[in-house]
Structure 1
Amino acid sequence: MKTQKLSILFLAFAMAFASCRKTDKDETEVPPKAPEAITGEITTNRTLTADRQWILDGTVFVKSPAVLTIEPGTIIRAKVGSKAALVIDKGAKIMADGTAAKPIVFTSGRDAGARNPGDWGGIILVGRATTNRTTPVQVEGGVAITYGTDKMDDDNSGVLRYVRIEYAGIGVNDSEINALTFYAVGNKTVVENVQTVYANDDAFEFFGGTVNCKNLIAYATADDDFDFDFGYNGSVQFAVAIRDPKFVDAADDGNGIECDNDKDGTDATPITQPKISNMTIIGPNNAANTAARHAYGNRWRRNAKFIFNNSIVLGSQKGGINIESDKSATSYKNGDSQFKNNIVAAYTANFLTNAATSILTAADMQTKALADGNVVFTDANISVKLNNPFSLTAPNFLPAAGSPALSGTWVATTGATAVTYRGAFGTTDWTSGWANWNAQSTAY
């Protein structure tokens, strides 16, 4: 009996000792460091660590030859009212290499529930690759940097991988800034797994350059999800755009893709021609309270050429594919542009052309599209059979059993890896674990 009592006392003492040790350990854990502001110019190598939040205050320029490294899991918030933006200048680099478990987040400085599109500017990469400009051009949004006349197509502006860019889109001095803008960015730059959230202008815009991108998400963009200009000739594979029916730029059409050679439709070379494969574009599909300026899935105009293959255009409000200029129509008709092995199921007309042109009618476009292995539907997702593509809070873009996205003959496309499906997804959801479909309620 005495031995049993001693054992019980010993056990109680051991448990109390263990509890004390745990308490001591908890009390000695290092608390998060205080937030630190980032301002002005970064002219030497700098690292933003994940052990604190960073506050982007005003326009911050990373200048050559500096490298800005950002650790996985780091959160960068924009100072409210400062029109914050991050600009990586020619010759400088950003190394924002996150992971699916620890994405790097650029977001509004406002608290959950109070965030708005345009709470800050966005991220701007300025490179030295080819454009079709012959004199220097100033970066949009009032940013005092020029670009456009270099010819270094293998230029390297760094890495953006597993990065979210939320609530961007205010101009520094004048017009809006896109969530992520590429000015003459070269093909040694790595851009993979990047999501934009409620951008107040375009989600991704490419002014010339040769950068190649994979796994892009444009979520609830005000203007265009993907915009190409000034001789861009890189590639984009595995990209998805989903629009919020109630949210669009009130003064401009919101399109899945908008593409121009330049604003005047000149013959300046190189002609803009993005190489796109396995993109999924989800329009509002005339959901309740759809705003008036939601427009087209693809808008090719002003002498743009295009390669758009192995993709899905679903629910675009005013039309699926719109070719607006005679030169763009001629390029499609004679085979200089490609539109092959796609699924088109717009809310209204699947194909449109400039009403004044005699080059190519909408009927001609459909005839050519069908001959090139495209599939056309008029019942939106009933026949396309994606699992839950129109949900804004829990979208599922994967094809269901029997979906035509899982059939067709994949068309080889410059810069693209061959797969056995159409659209951005086969049987794997590459957005899982790092994309955010509820950024408004996320506490940072």
Structure 2
Amino acid sequence: MKEMKARTLISSLLSASLIMAAAACSDDAPKSSPYEWGNEGSVKTCDHILFNADGSENENGTVIGNGDQEFVFTGNQTLKKGVYELKGWVYVGAGATLTIEPGTVIRGDKETQASLIIEPGGKLYAEGTATEPIVFTSEQPKGQRKPGDWGGLVICGKARNNQGVLNQQIEGGPRTKHGGTDDSDNSGVLRYVRVEFAGYPFQKNKEINGVTFGSVGSGTTVDHVQVSYCNDDSYERFGGSVNCRYLVAYNGWDDEFDTDNGFSGKVQFCLSIRDPRIADTSQSNGFESDNCADGALTEPFTSAVFSNVTFIGPLGRDANFTNDASYINGGSYNPNNGSALGKFQAAMQIRRSSRLNCFNSVAVGYPIGLIIDGEKGGTVESAKNGQIGLQNVWFAGMGITGSDANKVYEDVLYDARNKAVIDANQESYSSTFFKAQSGNRVMPDIASLLLSDPRHIGVSYLPTASSPLLNAASFTNPLLASWFEQVSYIGAFGTSDNWLDGWTNFDPQNTDY
């Protein structure tokens, strides 16, 4: 009897030990976190961002967003390296953080106009590497991709703009309003990132840009970003003070670097390359810069400072280019989505009271070099008062050096407000202004710049060893005193520092994603 009781006791102890061991093992095993849901009006919110294709919960899923047209992410999550599909307008809400690992590919859904929108107070850490960039691209198969296949990347913050605090809705349709008083606001990191085939036309003249910055502050890190085949502007900045380096705009539809509403950041080392058969009905430019839509003298002024930019315009790609509908037909990249084709206009259009500045840069092959547009606001007065700086800027192979008004392709003194020629025997004020600025030059042709080969893609656009662009830069202007890397050359490249290597892609149409 005693022996049986002993055996029973031992058996009970062993069972208890096994139960405790199993419990311990269970504690060590990975647990699935429950999805916490909420609502902001009619829009669902959730602390998880990954789902299955049918919208069901799966923290290891491959779909970003639950499939609704609008969805707000409220948590803190890292996307492991892999391939994901972005569905709908996915907002990273205030207090939320989305981190994306190097080498990740995110394919935007066409049907839902997929877009990733970082709201003020939210953060995106998309930090790729030169060998493993992060790619946002079309979900369409290779050979079938078009501009506007998905929405785009939108980042909004709490820096100043000239429209007020959280008073300006971001362009393109999303709900997000941006702006604040903190010019050092931090929205995260965007580094070694490509954005391809974005710009879905939500409504007529309401496309989301490739990368849109709304009041993004200088605490945000942005460098090594390429936007290709966007259906609107490659980059647009509405207010804010974010500084950027190493940007590529490739074969966009409208403007390359659009600045508005008090953007005051610094930007260095940019390459812009145009497809000569793609231009927007509004007239495509390298720079398009406004203070605000009506030209009001509203502070803070758009006062961006660019240095070391290379613009390769349509004549820089094809010597047989003609600026008309017989040539500009979109080619194989016409998306037939309602986006109207038009003409190319200027390497630089400054208008509506903007006070943009550009130094140590080169532009080739546009119909017009510079437009200081006086139709609205005080742009011409700002230029005369020294509040617009264009120094050590070289033009080559332009149709004309300057024009004084939008859609006027003549280098004559022109009254933009009254739309009338003042004197057909005098060159435009824009041309006179440009030639009078320190270090500016108008070269007789593109060949005189001695670039590697500006007519072909896949080359570096580096100047050759005997190029006059070398040793021609100057950083003595007070606007360049801080933040800028002081280099000896004009344009985006010296003879050996090809910062395009490894992470860029000039043939995304034929890339396996």
**Which TM-score tier does this pair reach, normalised by the shorter chain?**
0.7 to 0.9
* 8 A Cα contact 1:245 1:287, kept in partner: no
Higher relative contact order (CA 8 A, sep 6+): 1
Quick one: which of 488, 494, 508 aligns to 1:426? 494
Checking the alignment, whether the CA contact within 8 Å between 1:340 and 1:411 is kept in structure 2 is no
Q: Secondary structure at 1:426's aligned position in 2?
A: coil
Q: For 1:131-152, what per-residue CA distance to the aligned partner results, in whole angstroms no more than 9, with x for missing partners?
A: 001361211211011123x111
The range that moved more, 334-343 or 130-139, is 130-139
**2:467 aligned to which of 403, 424, 428:** 403
Of stretches 361-370 and 287-296 in structure 1, the one that deviates more from structure 2 is 361-370
- Pair 1:170–1:371, CA change in 2 (3 A): closer
| Structure 2 CA distance for partners of 1:353 and 1:172, relative to 1, 3 Å | closer
Q: Deviation at 1:371? A: 4.8
Identify unmatched segments of 5+ residues in structure 2.
1-58, 66-70, 322-326, 329-341, 406-413, 417-421
State the shift of 1:300 in Å: 0.4
> AA paired with 1:315?
G
Structure 2 counterpart of 1:319, from 334, 353, 368: 368
Q: Report if aligned partners of 1:169, 1:200 keep a CA contact under 8 Å in 2.
A: yes
2:37 is aligned to none
Query: Are the aligned partners of 1:340 and 1:374 in contact in 2 as well (CA < 8 Å)?
Result: yes
* Map of 2:115 onto structure 1: 85
* 3-state SS in 1 of match to 2:225: strand
Match of 2:132 among 78, 99, 102: 102
Find the structure with the greater CA-based Rg. 2
Question: Which residue of structure 1 lines up, in the alignment, with residue 415 of structure 2?
Answer: 356
Is 1:299 matched with 2:367?
no
**Contact between 2:404 and 2:430, CA under 8 Å: does it hold in 1?**
no
User: How many Å separate the matches in 2 of 1:371 and 1:303?
Assistant: 19
How far does residue 80 in structure 1 lie from its aligned partner after superposition?
3.2
1:377 shift after superposition: 1.2
Partner of 1:331: 382
Q: Note if 1:435 corresponds to 2:466.
A: no
2:150 and 2:200 in contact (8 A); partners too: yes
Residue 45 of structure 1 and its aligned partner are, at CA, apart by 0.5
Query: How far is the alpha carbon of 1:34 from its aligned partner?
Result: 8.9
My pick for the range that moved more, 396-405 or 422-431, is: 396-405
Q: Contact between 2:194 and 2:225, CA under 8 Å: does it hold in 1?
A: yes
Whether the aligned pair in 1 keeps the contact of 2:401 and 2:431 (CA below 8 Å) is: no
**Separation of aligned partners in 2, 1:366 and 1:134:** 36
Partners of 1:319 and 1:272 in 2: CA distance: 22
What CA distance in whole angstroms lies between the structure 2 residues aligned with 1:403 and 1:435? 25
Aligned residue for 2:257?
226
Q: Helix, strand or coil: the match of 1:188? A: coil
> Does the CA-based 8 Å contact 2:402-2:430 persist in structure 1?
no
- Give TM-score, length-normalised by structure 2: 0.76
Q: CA-to-partner distance for each residue in 1:371-413, whole Å, 9 max, x for gaps? A: 511121131x11111111232x313210012212103241344
CA 1:367–1:259 in structure 2 vs 1: closer, same or farther (change >3 Å)?
closer
For 2:210, give the aligned amino acid.
A
SS of the counterpart of 2:120? coil
Decide whether the 8 Å contact of 1:127 with 1:186 is kept in 2: yes
Structure 2 partner of 1:236: 267
Question: Which deviates further from its counterpart, 425-434 or 185-194?
Answer: 425-434
What letter is aligned with 1:138? Q
Letter in 1 for 2:489: Y
Query: Residues 346 and 63 of structure 1: is their aligned pair in 2 closer, same or farther, counting only changes over 3 Å?
Result: same
Q: Which residue of structure 1 lines up, in the alignment, with residue 147 of structure 2?
A: 117
Deviations 1:117-164 (A, max 9, x none): 00000000010000001361211211011123x111010000000000
- After superposition, the Cα gap between the structure-2 partners of 1:388 and 1:346, relative to the gap in structure 1 and judged at 3 Å, is same
User: What do residues 222-274 of structure 1 show as CA deviations (whole Å, max 9, x unaligned)?
Assistant: 0000000001000110001000001122x221110000011100011011111
Q: CA distance change for structure 1 residues 433 and 409 in 2, over 3 Å: closer, same or farther?
A: closer
Contact 1:185 1:208 in 2 (8 A): yes
* 3-state secondary structure, aligned to 1:350: strand
For the 8 Å contact 1:182–1:206, the answer to whether it is kept is: yes
Deviation at 1:353, TM superposition (A): 1.9
Q: Which moved more, 1:212-221 or 1:318-327?
A: 318-327
Query: Do the aligned residues in 2 keep the contact of 1:162 with 1:194 (CA within 8 Å)?
Result: yes
Q: Is the 8 A contact 2:371 2:430 kept in 1?
A: no
Equivalent position of 1:165 in the other structure = 195
Give the corresponding residue for 1:373.
439
TM-score by length of 1: 0.87
SS of 1:216 mapped into structure 2: strand
Counterpart mapping for 1:32-71 below 5 A: 36-39=62-65, 40-50=71-81, 52-71=82-101
